[in-house]
């Protein structure tokens, strides 16, 4: 049984070596490089940057809502003084 296992491991190693030396490895490298270049041109952001901006936007929106309520209260007080 050990001899059979060794034979299978040898076959797997040979196939891995063959793939590593084949044009398929070059194709994979080239595709990765082209994709990286395309993503760079798209000006994409990382998930971390997106999450930071989402959090900042949520806090800004909460502050705007707070200020809008404060302005409305002040307008109501002004309106009451004008009467």
Q: What b/e sequence results for 22-60 when a residue is b if at least 16 CB atoms lie within 10 Å of its CB, and e otherwise?
A: eeeeeeeeeeeeeeeeeeeeeeeeeeeeeeeeeeeeeee
pLDDT at 77 over 90: yes
Q: pLDDT at position 41, please?
A: 80
CA distance from start to end of the chain: 100
34 and 57 within one domain: no
Which range of residues forms the domain containing residue 64? Answer: 45-83
User: Do 38 and 49 share a domain, yes or no?
Assistant: no
Whether residues 26 and 54 fall in one domain: no
Contact 25, 19 (CB under 8 A): yes
| pLDDT tens sequence across 26-67 | 777 788 888 888 877 887 788 999 999 999 999 999 999 999
Of 16 and 47, the structure prediction assigns the larger pLDDT to 47
Question: Do 2 and 40 lie in a common domain?
Answer: yes
Tally of domains in the chain: 2
Three-class HEC string of 40-79? HHCCCCCHHHHHHHHHHHHHHHHHHHHHHHHHHHHHHHHH
- Residue 57 and residue 34 share a domain: no
Same domain, 15 and 52: no
Does 31 share its domain with 52? no
For residue 72, what pLDDT is reported?
A: 97
Residues 54 and 39 in one domain: no
Q: Say whether both 28 and 65 belong to one domain.
A: no
User: Longest Cα pair distance anywhere in the chain, in angstroms?
Assistant: 101
């Amino acid at each position: 049984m050990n001899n059979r296992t060794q034979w299978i491991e040898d076959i797997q190693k040979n196939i891995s070596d063959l793939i590593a030396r084949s044009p398929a490895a070059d194709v994979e490298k080239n595709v990765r490089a082209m994709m990286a270049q395309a993503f760079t041109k798209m000006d994409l952001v990382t998930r971390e940057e997106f999450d930071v901006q989402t959090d900042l936007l949520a806090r800004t929106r909460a502050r705007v809502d707070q200020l809008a309520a404060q302005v409305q209260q002040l307008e109501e007080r002004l309106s009451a003084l004008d009467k």
